[in-house]
Structure 1
Amino acid sequence: MAVECDNQHKHDPYLVYQTGRQWRFSTAEEAEYTPQLCQEVSQLLAATAGLPSPLEPPAGPRAVWPQPRGCHKLIPEFLEFRTEAPLDRPFKEFTSGLGGSSGRFGVYRTPTEFIDCALKLSHPFDTQHCVPDAVKRNIFRRLTEGPSAFAEERLRLYNRLNQMEKELRYEEARLHSTLPDHTREAIKGKNLLLWAQLLKETKFPDEGVFDLMMGVDLVGKPDKSPLFETKESPATSTPELLLESASWRRERLKGRDPHEKDPEATWQLWDCTLKDRGDGFLTGPFYDEDEVKTHLGVDEFVCSRRFVIEQGTPERPKLRPIDNYKEGGVNEAYHSLEKLALFDVNWMTAMATYIARVSDGTGRFFSAREKFCAESYTLLGKLRSPSGRGEHWIWKKRIVKFHFQQSRYDWGLSRSILHLSWTLIGMVSGCFYDDFPLLEIQSSAKLVSESFEHLLRKIGWRYSNDPAKTSPFSESFDLLGIRLNAGDISNGVVVLQNKASRLEKMKDTFIRMALNGEWNMRQLQSLQGQVNFALGSTSGRALKMLQRALGSFIRNPEDRSSSDFQALCEFGIRLIDECKPRVFGCRGPEQPVLIFTDAAYEKGVAAYGVVVLDPFTSSKLVAGGRIPTRLVDFWKLESPEQVIAQAEAFAVVLARESFRSLIHGRRTIYFIDNEGAREVLIN
């Protein structure tokens, strides 16, 4: 297909310029595909795939540009859609795939209508991490009935669980006897019928969760769970192709040793694997592939590579083995249907701030953490022997935990336990992987902990008694690397900060590297991972520049001098020393401050404008001016032709600095009309 340009549009000048160490060509930024070319490619693909032709566009209005990842638009771009062009207000006409009219017109709001909508908004922090109704009821009963709200119910539950276990023990034994050996071994000790009966009585929404304990397919297309939103990711392979490629995948894995230059890590991985075998998670080792095929009774099998990462502190190092199921090809043959929602730090913070908002100052909420192990199914993992002789030993993994795309099964099991904690025990709790953080009034803290542990024991779920993992109730506790102070929740205050041990570990690493004047890639990558984990919307972005500096150093280490390395270490130490706790005052105005910013760049001059609206104080503020020429010249060093995105971001940064006394401790929503600047500010 060859078509010459009709010259009916403006052609930007051809430019070649340097940014940093790279050359950039204007043609790369101006490339566009015409509707005719797109239509022709679609027709050819449809014919090849045996799809009907011509392909019809989907019915209904289509987005003008993709929705931002992770959230919906606070205010839709259009007020309404019409089939005729309006005469009294601005609009946008949608075109068909061939460039003609589609007969649909998006009608914009007037400025006044847009402001009226904005003034009615709630902040996403208060709406996107909503506290479930079941938890709200538990909080309400605590605040209105006091510590005795659930005491009698928990005592009755204690006796009832004991009785149900006795009544179902013979049926439970009969069920286990009918299962295959590998399934029976994996669910040994589980009281599945008791667990299923409790879920039925409490109306757990996912009725198919019981079937997960019988074993599931790790490839193919599963049934959709009602626990999660829909996000379809089709498989890129098939189970048949996965098995056909298994032999050469195994050979490829043999040549990829993640710890080839780190013998200590190889021994650490070996010790972790032996521990997993002792805990019943693994079977093996098998010394050759024929032995595996004989054991499984199959002609072919799929392997995945295992490696270890180091977490924790120098005083209490924590080794975590990871099984790379993506590399083994298992994820490629799985058709995912769910968007997993993690009850992470943001969710727990939303729950804590909700309590702080509705509490009247009576009763003190404290915190603790429980842990249990979510267990499931079978895969095979390949591990190099630490003997140094180059053998590759294979282990059969009976129980898979959260390391792969199909972990939605483990999430379903975890959610079922969380559901029982809400409905049977009245807990104010969350769930992240296998951690169960909870908030409780001091006087009933011991009873709620014992009730939850008794529930786990009766349904057969193991939980950790390690003091390092099961913290006693206290005013502050560590939650996923964040220390949450709950002592002042009843006074409307929630305090969050990075764990002191995490910051100290990172600082110590920088100090040691600076003193030695040497570094290795594994050390820098581990440090970058720690910094990444210390960033978040609740823990703050104070270390964001350190994250970028580490990433830049890791990408081009050969171009870095010793002075660059010393500067990086000094920069990291200074930023870590400046980290401060984040204090959330939850009794202030709920209406957010609205800040509208805009910028312009014409004929070498950049300007900005800011409008601030505060519904609580009825404040209306306006600011504007020129951006300093020396700053614009600095932006041009990286992008000589386009600086509007930088100018738009500058307007937001300036507004935050200029009106910080107004927005301090307040919810704030920024409206910006430049997508590039918006993405940069979010990241």
Structure 2
Amino acid sequence: MKDRGTLVSISDQHKMGDAVFGVYRTHEEFVQAALQAKHPIDFACSFPELLVKNIAKVLNDGPKLVNARRKLEVLKVKKLAVQLESEEQKLHQQLNPEMAKLLEGKRLLLWKELMLRTGYDDPTLFDEMLSGFKLVGQAKVSPQFPRGFSSMQQSPEELRRKSLWMRKANLAKCKSSGRKELDKLVWQQTLEECDAGWMHGPYDERQISDMVGSNDWLATRRFPLEQKDKTRLIDDALASGLNSAYGTSNKLTLFDIDTLVAMVLQAARAMQQKSGTITTSVYVSVSALWSQPLQLVGRTLDLQSAYKQDLFSAVENNQTIGLWTASSRAAQSCALITDLAQGAGAGVKGKPIRSRLSDLAHSAGVKFAMDAPAPNAAAPAAMNPLAPDAAQGLLTPQDWQEKTYCARILLRDGSEMEVQATKAGMEQWRNLPKYVAHTAEITRTVIKPYKAEEKTGIRSEFYSGNMHGWDDSLKPELAVACLYARVVLQNAQPRTLTVDDEQTPVLVFSDGAWEPGSPKPAGAGLVIVDPITRTKLACEVAVPGPLVDHWRDMCKSQIIAELELLPVVVFFSEFGQLCRKRRVLVFVDNNAIRDSVAKGTSKSLSVLVLLSELHRLWNELQCLCWISRVPTKSNIGDLPSRQQPEEAARIIGGQTIPPVNPSAKLCNLVCGAVSFVAHMKEYLK
């Protein structure tokens, strides 16, 4: 076998039931493989190759050629739209009245043609746009996303049989929010959606039953979700049971903030090096026609009322299944929804798939859909490189809401990116202070005592996970979690990435051991390899008896999680200067700890205490840490955790150092000399 770490199948004809086996790497082999690894921020960017090529093409061509090329593309699309005009009208005339009203003004055949020309390989999307997306049943597979099967919890037939009693239960939950102005807003927005043709109503229960000719229909409660700048209406298809009869066939991979970070860093690197390869197959040579120093500005194309642009399929298994919404009024009212509801599982599939197509349709320019910002090279207004009015007007006239060019990009997660810093080869991110303050206020108010009449209110019900009443036993845990969230947000420093950052990562292999009954039951170890400073160290991490006693006193029969995490924290505490503003790859052989470190939280208070210190250190060191799993048999960190640091040092060609002791501050934090809550309050602003 050429590579021990590779899975091998007995047959190259892969089919269900085939046996697959693998051989664990030895310690030496895994270390050598890790030395070839990169931090994911430098290679795992999820934006498509087409976008990388567009970055290079825009920089290579210069502003005049880019502008001319894009104008030519827009003219081609305009010409195609004229050619399809008569066929477009015929298609709209053949649509049923509901669909025709919702899709009025949309150039469907033009959209289909662009789908073919851009290589969009999901032929079912156009048919679903015409027939409507299914709200129940198993979704069709889209080749645009990785496969990820999730079966229905119940069949549409089962849901239909239960619909009468489920409807009564859902209608019983539909009550006033306790705030008249909020109830009025829900009612007004619902009526506006009726006027727009997105739903029909209002009706009462009897009228609905008469309309569908049956008493077997489902009611989904509508409730308001207050956001920082607006109130969004949510149709709770999860609580109503609707989503339980919907199965997915794909795992959605969206263009998130990590994608944007990688894209801007890629552009900054190309702008700084002037010429060279930015990937193995893409070459860049920045045109001299771009003004110097070249800088970026940000712009956002926002999908406006995206869910309202698509209809759902009204026929499932030859029977009508309607989605009905009761408004939050003293007298309950219902409306028949005709579009994809905000809260329906089908909407989670429909919007991203259509947005992915919009990305391809706009492939003449460097941009994102899905509410994501688009950094573009700055240009005079007369040379707008995207020609957005023409392109967007041809495609979906109601969908796009263009934001103006700006020096900063504001994201919906409450963060901000300084785009102009890219001219210096750097990328700066920070949390917006007003959003931090807003989130901190939520964490403060969510656990405050509610009056009895407020416990049925929307805020209390939503934040407690739609539980039936407030569970006081959860309050201490919730208080700690909210306090921790406030501290992390308020103390998070702006992050800066530069094209000159050292990309070779520091490698850390960590392990903990718990063997009750042995002379030394608790152990931990570290192996550190840094190719840049040529550091190669193996050492034990001392586990003080008071730490073990403290964890055992918390009624824990197993303390392996704490022992696995302790050496990771000790590394960043005692070897911090080695990884300041560096990329760090940490390998552990415990999945639970890997997940907790990645998420930054844990249900276990003893683990959360260690995590809080770990993330404080990351914030202080401004390092980029990635934690990954190594099989126990391949983890060289296992050797020093079992008192064999010399063997680990021999394998890496390094040296041993005396056991490293956790700092007194860390021990005091863990053992509660300063309580966790008091410790967190020290960092509150």
Distance in 2 (CA, whole Å) between partners of 1:446 and 1:639 is 70
**Which of 510, 515, 527 is equivalent to 1:597?**
510
Q: Normalising by the residue count of structure 2, what TM-score does the alignment of the two structures yield?
A: 0.72
**Correspondence 1:343 to 2:255:** yes
Distance in 2 (CA, whole Å) between partners of 1:474 and 1:528 is 38
1:335-390 Cα deviation digits (max 9, x unpaired): 3211111212122222122223333265212211111243211452321452x2xx
Paired residue secondary structure (1:245): helix
The more displaced of 494-503 and 372-381 is 372-381
* Offset at residue 208 of structure 1 (A): 2.1
CA 1:445–1:371: 2 relative to 1, 3 Å: farther
**Correspondence 1:376 to 2:317:** no
Paired residue secondary structure (1:443): coil
CA 1:237–1:670: 2 relative to 1, 3 Å: same
Paired residue secondary structure (1:284): strand
Q: 1:460 — aligned with what? A: 396
CA 1:496–1:278: 2 relative to 1, 3 Å: farther
The more displaced of 456-465 and 247-256 is 456-465
CA 1:226–1:573: 2 relative to 1, 3 Å: closer
1:38-89 Cα deviation digits (max 9, x unpaired): xxxxxxxxxxxxxxxxxxxxxxxxxxxxxxxxxxxxx998556699xxxxxx
Q: 1:440 — aligned with what? A: 376
Gaps of 5+ in 2: 11-16, 274-292, 313-321, 600-685
**Correspondence 1:426 to 2:365:** yes
Q: Is the 8 A contact 2:296 2:422 kept in 1?
A: yes
CA 1:150–1:296: 2 relative to 1, 3 Å: farther
**Correspondence 1:472 to 2:404:** yes
RMSD over aligned Cα atoms = 3.5
CA 1:617–1:347: 2 relative to 1, 3 Å: same
* Offset at residue 296 of structure 1 (A): 4.9
Distance in 1 (CA, whole Å) between partners of 2:80 and 2:19 is 65
The more displaced of 254-263 and 504-513 is 504-513
Counterparts of 1:288-437 in structure 2 under 5 Å? 288-289=205-206, 291-296=207-212, 300-312=216-228, 317-360=229-272, 362-373=293-304, 374=306, 375-378=309-312, 379-384=322-327, 386=329, 388=330, 391-400=331-340, 403-407=343-347, 408-422=349-363, 425-427=364-366, 429-432=367-370, 435-437=371-373
* Offset at residue 298 of structure 1 (A): 6.3
Q: 2:426 — aligned with what? A: 493
Q: Is the 8 A contact 2:204 2:333 kept in 1?
A: yes
The structure, 1 or 2, with the larger RCO (C-alpha pairs under 8 Å, 6+ apart) is: 2
1:430-483 Cα deviation digits (max 9, x unpaired): 233xx1421101116775576233222212341455xxxx43212212122221
* Aligned residues between the structures: 549
* Offset at residue 211 of structure 1 (A): 0.9
Q: Which amino acid aligns with 1:360?
A: Q
Q: 2:135 — aligned with what? A: 218
**Which of 169, 185, 202 is equivalent to 1:268?**
185
Q: Which amino acid aligns with 2:255?
A: F
Distance in 2 (CA, whole Å) between partners of 1:323 and 1:175 is 31
The more displaced of 108-117 and 575-584 is 575-584
Q: Is the 8 A contact 1:168 1:193 kept in 2?
A: yes
Distance in 2 (CA, whole Å) between partners of 1:670 and 1:506 is 31
Distance in 1 (CA, whole Å) between partners of 2:529 and 2:138 is 50
Q: Is the 8 A contact 1:471 1:477 kept in 2?
A: no
CA 1:104–1:385: 2 relative to 1, 3 Å: closer
Q: Is the 8 A contact 1:232 1:338 kept in 2?
A: yes
Q: Is the 8 A contact 2:325 2:337 kept in 1?
A: no
1:558-587 Cα deviation digits (max 9, x unpaired): 8669xx97x998877655442321222333
* Offset at residue 309 of structure 1 (A): 0.7
Paired residue secondary structure (1:343): coil
CA 1:309–1:365: 2 relative to 1, 3 Å: same
Distance in 1 (CA, whole Å) between partners of 2:208 and 2:583 is 58
Paired residue secondary structure (1:150): helix
Q: Which amino acid aligns with 1:627?
A: V
Q: Is the 8 A contact 1:310 1:320 kept in 2?
A: yes
* Offset at residue 526 of structure 1 (A): 7.2
* Offset at residue 160 of structure 1 (A): 3.0
CA 1:418–1:120: 2 relative to 1, 3 Å: same
Q: Which amino acid aligns with 1:326?
A: L
Counterparts of 1:83-102 in structure 2 under 5 Å? none
1:496-554 Cα deviation digits (max 9, x unpaired): 2222321122345578899x99797765787899xxxxxxxxxxxxxxxxxxxxx9xx8
Gaps of 5+ in 1: 1-74, 84-96, 530-550
* Offset at residue 136 of structure 1 (A): 0.7
**Which of 493, 496, 502 is equivalent to 1:583?**
496
CA 1:310–1:77: 2 relative to 1, 3 Å: farther
CA 1:384–1:144: 2 relative to 1, 3 Å: closer
Q: Normalising by the residue count of structure 1, what TM-score does the alignment of the two structures yield?
A: 0.72
1:636-656 Cα deviation digits (max 9, x unpaired): 222443222201101001112
Q: Which amino acid aligns with 2:404?
A: P
* Offset at residue 294 of structure 1 (A): 4.5
1:218-262 Cα deviation digits (max 9, x unpaired): 222343111011111122322222222222221111111264545
Counterparts of 1:280-295 in structure 2 under 5 Å? 280-289=197-206, 291-295=207-211
Q: Is the 8 A contact 1:585 1:665 kept in 2?
A: no
Q: Is the 8 A contact 1:235 1:335 kept in 2?
A: yes
Q: Which amino acid aligns with 1:442?
A: A
Paired residue secondary structure (1:303): strand
Q: Is the 8 A contact 1:231 1:336 kept in 2?
A: yes
**Which of 193, 202, 209 is equivalent to 2:125?**
209
CA 1:487–1:121: 2 relative to 1, 3 Å: same
Q: Is the 8 A contact 2:296 2:378 kept in 1?
A: yes
**Identical aligned pairs, as a percentage?**
24
CA 1:523–1:392: 2 relative to 1, 3 Å: closer
Distance in 2 (CA, whole Å) between partners of 1:296 and 1:173 is 31
Paired residue secondary structure (1:488): helix
Paired residue secondary structure (2:60): helix
Q: Is the 8 A contact 1:418 1:431 kept in 2?
A: yes
Distance in 1 (CA, whole Å) between partners of 2:87 and 2:424 is 51
* Offset at residue 610 of structure 1 (A): 1.2
Q: Is the 8 A contact 2:508 2:585 kept in 1?
A: yes
